[in-house]
Amino acid sequence: MGFFQRHNEISVQTIRRLPQYLRILYNLHGYGRELVSSTALAQETQLLPIVIKKDLQAIGAPSKLRAGFKVAGTIAAIEKFLGWNNLNKAFLVGAGHLGSALLGFQGFKNHGLEIVAAFDTRSEVVGSFLHGIRVYHTAQLAGIIEKENLKIAILAVPAEAAQGITDTLVAAGIKAIWNFAPVNLTVPEGVRVQKEDLSAGLAELCAKLR
C-alpha cells in the first residue's frame, strides 16, 4: 500500500491514531514485550480501550485471546497498512525555508518516504545540494518525474504558484500531493491531496492560550 493510499472502511481518525500506537509499540518491542493489552495502551495514549481495540482490529492486528495484541505482529500490521514497510520515492517542489527543513528531516525514511529530488526556480539554489539532495529547476519537473517514475510530490511553494505547479504535476502523472502551500488545490479524480494547514494549527494553539 502506498504512502497516501487508504482503505475506504478505515476512518481518518483511526489512521491518525496509528502512528501514536506505533511509537509505543516500538518501545515495548525494544524492551522485549510480546503482548500488550488495549487497557495498557489506553494508559499511554489517554484514549478509551475500546477505541484502541477497534482501531487495531480494523487493520488486522494479531491478538491472543484475553491476553492482548501481539506487539511484533501489530507493529507489522500498522506498518503494512500505512505503507511504511516499503520506501516510496518522492520529490519536493519549493526549496525555501520550509522546503529545506523538510529535506533535512531524517524521519521520513522511517515512515516509508524517501525524498530523492527537489525543485525550485531561484538561481542561487538550482544546481546545489540541500541536505544531500539535488535541487533542479522547476522547468525540469516533467522530464525527471517521467525518468524516475515518481508518483508523490511534496508542495512547499507560495499560494499563488501552487495551482499552476499542481497542474504541471498532474499532467506529468503524479498521483499524490502532500500540500504545505496555504491554498486548496483543484485536482482530477484519482489524484490524492493531503493538505497540511500550518496556520490552522497555529490558530488552534493560540486559541487554547486565551
Dihedral sign for Cα atoms in the order 126, 127, 129, 135: positive
Q: Is the confidence at residue 128, as pLDDT, over 80?
A: yes
Which among 130, 95, 131, 90 is positioned nearest to 111, based on CA atoms?
A: 90
pLDDT reported for residue 8: 55
Q: 124 CB contacts (<8 Å, ≥6 apart)? A: none
Average pLDDT score over residue span 45-55: 94
Q: What average pLDDT does the chain have?
A: 90
Kindly state the cell numbers that stand for 38: 488495549
Q: Coil, strand, or helix at residue 37?
A: coil
In the prediction, which pLDDT does 5 show? Answer: 45
CA atoms of 209 and 206, how far apart (whole Å): 5
In contact, 91 and 144? CB cutoff 8 Å: yes
Distance CA 66, CA 44 (A): 20
Instruction: Count CB-CB contacts under 10 A for residue 160.
Output: 9
Rounded Cα–Cα distance for residues 42 and 21 (Å): 10
Residue 111, C-alpha cell as written in the block? 515512515
Give the Cα separation of 49 and 55 in Å (integer). 10
Which residues, other chains included, contact 150 with Cβ-Cβ below 8 Å and sequence gap of 6+? 89, 90, 91, 116, 117, 144, 174
Residue 136's SS3 state is: strand
Mean pLDDT within 66-80: 93
Average pLDDT over residues 174-178: 94
The answer to whether the CB of 131 falls within 8 A of the CB of 101 is: no
CA distance 45 to 36: 13
Q: What pLDDT, on a 0 to 100 scale, did the predictor assign at position 6?
A: 45
Euclidean distance between CA atoms 85 and 59, whole angstroms: 15
Alpha-carbon distance 29 to 70, whole Å?
10
pLDDT tens digits, 2-42? 444 445 578 889 998 999 999 999 999 999 999 999 999 99
